[in-house]
Amino acid sequence: MNILKLEEMAMLGLSLYALTTFHVAWWWYVVLLLGPDISMIGYMTGNKGGAVLYNLFHHKGIAIALFISGLMMPDILLQVIGIVLFGHSSMDRMFSYGLKTGEGFSYTHLGKIGKLSKQ
């Protein structure tokens, strides 16, 4: 396992820890694992539309912005959603699923899916 995957694993761990400190219901952990992947439905509109929607749900900057917005409002739900998006994005990157390009689902900012996971 390379150092970048270990870094992503640490960020996923941080997200899980944050959810425990917020004392969220158990189903939030299921949302962490699966929820943001609903954005793959965007691929029904084509590669470019799919990439835009997928990246919206998997961009760590957006996750952090949602969390900070939740802190400023204060809105605990927005904070938890930010944590979930951040954790899910870290989990995906740990498995070499990066932000998508318009070429197709297999093409990410980390390279082609499958190619990196064999390193």
Read off the pLDDT of residues 41-79 as tens digits, 9 standing for 90 and up: 999 999 999 999 999 999 999 999 999 999 999 999 999
Residue 18 pLDDT more than 70?
yes
What pLDDT does residue 77 have? 96
- Specify whether the backbone of 74 is left (phi greater than 0), alpha (psi in -120 to 50) or beta: beta
pTM: 0.88
* Amino acid present at 64: I
**Above pLDDT 70, what percent of the chain?**
94
Helix, strand, coil percentages for the chain (3-state, nearest 5): 70, 10, 20
Contact (CB, 8 A) for 97 and 108: yes
pLDDT at 102 over 90: no
Instruction: Please report the pLDDT score of residue 59 as a whole number.
Output: 96
Q: Is residue 108 exposed (0-12), middle (13-18) or buried (19+ Cβ within 10 Å)?
A: buried
Point out the least confidently predicted range of 61-65, 83-87, 113-117.
113-117
